[in-house]
Chain A
Amino acid sequence: MLNLIRNEVTKLLLKKKLILIIGLLIIFITLLSYGQQYTYEKNIDRFENLSGAGTYDWKSLASQRLNDLEKRLDSPYIPADGIASIEIEIKQLRYFIDNDINPITPSAAKFSVDFVEQGISLLIPLIIVILAADLVSGEFSTGTIKVLLTRAVPRWKILLSKLIALLLMTTLVVLIMGLLATLISYLFFGQWGFDEPVATGFRLIDGQLNADAVILVSRFEYTILIYSLTWYVAIVIAALTLLISIIVDNTVSAIGVLMAALIGGQFLQFFLSDWPIVKFFFVTNLDLTRYLTGSYQPIPGMSLNFSIITLGIWGLLALLLGFQIFSRKDVLV
């Protein structure tokens, strides 16, 4: 079995798709980091021109805000549910002032999180599609499937080895994505920013954002959490891609079907967000990371648990169906 998996990993590596993916990532990340750095400098410039105060002094602004918040906390008239979020903001501001870090300065850690947050619903799924779309269909179109199936191993074992190889490679791609995003953006920003505190743990109660359970974690821990969610999305997409790759017998159609599903799904979410059934579609649930920042509830009734379960069901069904079809498929090439 391990040999079969190694065989599949070797095939994935030899196709040079990993190099293509790394190349794409390097181009995107470089452009985006440059863009962010440019916007940041422009904002500072604009602020300085607007205020006419010469240099932009974030520290006095932050201290003023900190003082204001502390006074608010002393006031007995603030509502109970506001206290927790004020305390969180005070802790964050203290950190920035104590460590002399401007809160809006872009850092490598912040960029690597922003990058997957933006990419999780389209760019990252497409990268996984590039990786996985020809896993089975490629074997059919080139005819190599015959060589594979004439070995003395049951068909499900062959598909399982492909699945595990895909799982390993998907995991590696997520790692590569994180490393590239961090390293390249560090070249632009010159700051790691991994131990700055981040607020997370927002909940939705009756459609209202609730900040009672908000906690502070370091940006390093936060990055791990965000990449874990990204990884989950990536393996679900990998499972779906595998299914499509089994059903259609050439790679181009496989990529086409998946792109149509991903882009069409975004449209669906945009036009039919009042229609409750849309929330059971997998594309609608891809944006897992937004639940951690608490900024998001696309359709009433959706939560992190809901999205994870829905995606899980889609992934599992795709695998079940994939194994069924693969073991019964006629091989006529």
Chain B
Amino acid sequence: MIKKIWPLILIVSVALILVFVTGLIIAIAITNGGDKNPETLPNPAETIETEPVSAANSILVLGDSIGFGVGDEPDKGIGKRYAALIDPDNTITVANLSVSGAISADLAALVAAPENAAFISAADLVIISIGGNDLSRLQYQDALSLDVTFQETLNRYQESLEATISRIRALNPEAQIALIGLYNPYPDQDPQKSQKLFEWNYQTQLIAAADNKTAYIPTDEAFKYHLQTYLATDQFHPSSIGYQVIAETLDRILNGID
């Protein structure tokens, strides 16, 4: 019996050894990056020079996917919806430099980049939605390390946000800034995590309070009991209605009720 299958065993094993050795070499080559060099990748930030249209009234939206308008109808978002609320004639220009997935450090780097300075100095209102990605990265921490990492993340967030605001102020002392607060997209979360969100928003409010023309726009209170309708199908980003609610809150806080 064994004499019969012995050649088979030998051939299969030797062939497999060859396959595995090749695979091993390829795996090493892939992990070492082949011949692709990080320096050779083009840098699009330098190739595109867009001059913002200077208008009497212009809005700049900065931040993450909520600033970008993920979950909303195409080409809308907080900025456009707010502009439509205060000015039905459509003379306000809205520039959106938001990057989905950005954290506070990305935003600080974005406002520090010289190519974006023209947008910032031209804006009359700067809407900033940031921090959601900083915080949601903590979601999978276990309870033990959560407190420590939360404090670290919050400190970094505060530093980046302060740097962002002081950079905007340096370029544009007159602009109104609005910081969009975070809401809790998970309805059945444990209370400990909700507390973290409150603390986060509280620190954002403190930063807003330090500057005369910086407003804090709360969203958690408005969203809390209406997650079904205010959230988009991904159960994380606001829906069209959610964006409208944020824009209306922004309007009420900045302009009051006529």
Contacts and interface: CB of A to CB of B under 8 A. Distances in A.
A88 interface: no
Q: Is the interface of B mostly helix, strand, loop or mixed?
A: helix
Contact of A212 (B33, B48, B70, B106): B33
Interface in A163-210: 167-169, 171-172, 174-175, 200-203, 205, 210
Nearest to B24: A228
B166 interface: no
Contacts of A231: 16, 20, 23-24
Interface in B38-78: 38, 41-45, 47-48, 50, 65, 68, 70-71
A213 B33 contact: yes
Given A64-B233, A168-B10, A200 B30 contact: yes
B28 A305 contact: yes
Nearest to B97: A77
B20 A227 contact: yes
A77 B38 CA distance: 18
A225 B23 contact: yes
Interface string B68-105: 10110000000000000000000000000101110000
Contacts, number: 138
Contact of B38 (A202, A210, A224, A308): A210
A84 B42 CA distance: 11
B22 interface: yes
B44 A80 contact: yes
A80 B235 CA distance: 30
Interface in A42-86: 50-53, 57, 60-61, 64, 68-69, 71-72, 75-81, 83-84
Nearest to B40: A212
A238 to B, nearest CB: 13
A107 B98 CA distance: 37
B210 interface: no
Given A6-B6, A51-B233, A64-B233, A203 B19 contact: no
A309 B37 CA distance: 24
A304 B30 CA distance: 10
A202 B6 CA distance: 41
Interface in A220-261: 224-225, 227-229, 231-232
B34 A232 contact: no
Interface in B135-171: none
B32 interface: yes
B9 interface: yes
Nearest to B13: A168
B234 A61 contact: yes
B99 A75 contact: yes
A10 interface: yes
A145 interface: no
Contact of A228 (B23, B43, B45, B70): B23
B116 interface: yes
A308 to B, nearest CB: 7
Given A81-B41, A227-B23, A228-B22, A68 B65 contact: yes
Which 5 residue pairs spanning A and B have beta carbons closest together?
A: A228-B23, A213-B33, A168-B13, A76-B48, A231-B20
Given A83-B41, A212-B36, 16 more contacts: A9-B2, A13-B2, A52-B228, A64-B232, A68-B65, A79-B45, A80-B44, A81-B41, A175-B16, A203-B32, A213-B34, A225-B30, A228-B22, A304-B27, A304-B28, A308-B24
13 contacts: A10-B6, A64-B70, A64-B234, A78-B44, A171-B16, A172-B13, A210-B38, A212-B33, A213-B36, A231-B16, A232-B20, A292-B30, A308-B24
